[in-house]
Amino acid sequence: MTQNRPDPSLMDRLLTGIPGLDEITAGGLPLGGSTLVEGTTGSGKTVLAFHFLQAGIVAFDEPGVFVTLAESPEKLRRFVTEFGWPVAGWEEQRSFAFVDATSDFAAGAVMVVGEDLDFGVLLSRVAAAVERVGARRVVIDSIDGLLDRYGDRAGVRRGLQQILTGLESLGVTALVTMGRSEDYGPVRNSGVEEFVADNVVILRNALHDGIRRRTFEALKLRGTHHRRGEFPFGIVRGQGIVVIPIVPSPRPPATSERISTGNPVLDEMFGGGLFQDSVTLVSGSTGVGKTNLAVQFVLAGIAAGRTSVLVGYEESRHQLLEGFRSWGVDFEQLEADAKLRLLCVAPEAASFDEHLISIKRATSEVGADRVAIDSLSTLERYGPERVFREFVVALTAHVKDHQMAALLTTTTSALASTTAPSERHVSALSDAIIIMRYAELEGEIRRCLAVLKIRGSDHDKRIREFTIGDEGIVIGGPLPTAGLLARGGAPDRPA
């Protein structure tokens, strides 16, 4: 029940969906507020602003409005084709709208600017566009457009304030871009910071020793414990902005500590168990026993005096507890003793970022050194593959950074020979792979498993039959003939 609801501390935040940014800002931008994006020319302000709207539309079904004060909509549509963003398509399906507030007079016309400008009409235009598409996100790009055109004067600044205050009353979360003349110099003295001073991020593209390096810095964000300092980012063709939330402290060295999978025979097959900081992929057909293996793995950690987190995306908490009643383990007591955390979340209830954040929170709250996720392939269906891949990368980085052991399951159809994207992404990142399949033998359907790889150790290469007993998986001898294993499709095995 409650676990399907987003965490209350994240309620006043808006996950941007921009890779890496939500990690650095510890959950996104202040919801319903305006965030100022400062940067020199070419620092990526417009790309970031556009990506903010793109991610809203694609990942969160949140329409957006782009108020352009500098480049024409025409030019912007062309500009973002590099990232594969179909702006015209969004406009057609009414999930996106431009407000063209570029030069407000035709070419060849004469423009005379006086005093006491009232920007209420621009605000009304923005409000109308917000209403038309049901926008949750608004971008104003860039404030310099107004300052350059109407002069950097007190009246114009008041006008800006009028617009930004008005945005708040529209209930949208806004990104407002503004130029700076130097990467590390003072900001343009426009007074803009005075009224959006709560939230400021800076994009830099500074030259260090002859090499340009793009960085993202969350200078200040209201009510957040965002990460300090500059983080590298890239402007990636076909993707947009990718911020790399590198860990500030040097990574601890990999351990050589071996741990039990929870199954002594499987430990033997791995040549003495898994490594403590490792990611193990369990690829299996539906119902073959992956959840059993995941639960055994989690309990083995607890038996060794450690704590574990079990993340279930396929079953409700109730179903999960019911299913393992026969094992004679009181999961609820283990939770009460803070040895275990069951995180049962409907995959559609949250975005990948939110899932990642809740996994991180659960593992850090109980100080887990094991985490099992059952299954990744269920989760994978609820978002774009690109975002899922980033989720997997961030998840495995989190596991390694905290020297945890992770066991991730993916479901492979017994009938299809294609590999699920989750397997492709995870198998490359995993240290060990177990495959579990059904085999047809002597007119019977039997279960079998094999260790496909383990980094840094020898392993049993035979395919072993197994059964599921009252207390989990019981591994038997090698399967006499094993030609059928491949029918389920083995995951790609990186060289």
Find out whether 176 and 195 touch, Cβ atoms under 8 Å.
no
Least separation in angstroms between CB 103 and other proteins = 8
* Minimum gap (Å) between residue 101 Cβ and other proteins: 5
- Write out the H or E segment, with its range, that includes residue 132: helix 120-133
Choice between 36 and 146, CB closer to other proteins: 146
The burial class, CB within 10 Å (0-12 / 13-18 / 19+), for 444 is: exposed
- Residue tagged 């507020």 (tokens): 33
Q: Between residues 98 and 466, which has the closer beta carbon with respect to other proteins?
A: 98
Pick 135 or 274: Cβ nearer other proteins: 135
Q: Which is nearer to other proteins, 113 or 416 (CB)?
A: 113
Residue 266: C-alpha distances to residues 43, 271, 296, 465 (Å): 52, 9, 11, 12
Q: Cβ of residue 102: shortest distance to other proteins, in angstroms?
A: 7
Instruction: Give, in order, the Cα–Cα distances in Å from 441 to each of 415, 466, 484.
Output: 17, 13, 9
- Starting at the edge strand found earlier in the chain, the sheet holding 464-469 runs 340-344, 308-312, 370-374, 405-411, 278-284, 432-441, 444-454, 464-469, 472-478
Q: How far are the Cα atoms of 262, 376, 409 from residue 340, in angstroms, in the given order? A: 15, 20, 19
Q: Strand, helix or coil at 449?
A: strand
- Residue 108 or 186 having the CB closest to other proteins: 108
Least separation in angstroms between residue 95's CB and other proteins is 19
Q: Give the orientation angle of helix 154-169 with respect to helix 120-133, to 10 degrees.
A: 30
Token pair of 305, please? Answer: 């005096």
Where does this chain bind other proteins (CB under 8 A)?
99-106, 108-122, 124-125, 128, 146, 150, 155, 159
Least distance between other proteins and beta carbon 149 (Å):
8
Q: How far is the CB of 124 from other proteins (least distance, A)?
A: 6
Whichever of 149 and 424 has its CB closer to other proteins, that residue is 149
CB of 379: closest distance to other proteins in angstroms? 42
Other CB atoms within 10 Å distance of the CB of residue 122: 21
CA–CA distances in Å: residue 239 to residues 234, 243, 384: 10, 11, 12
Minimum CB separation from other proteins for residue 67, in Å?
10
**Whose Cβ is closer to other proteins: residue 19's or residue 145's?**
145
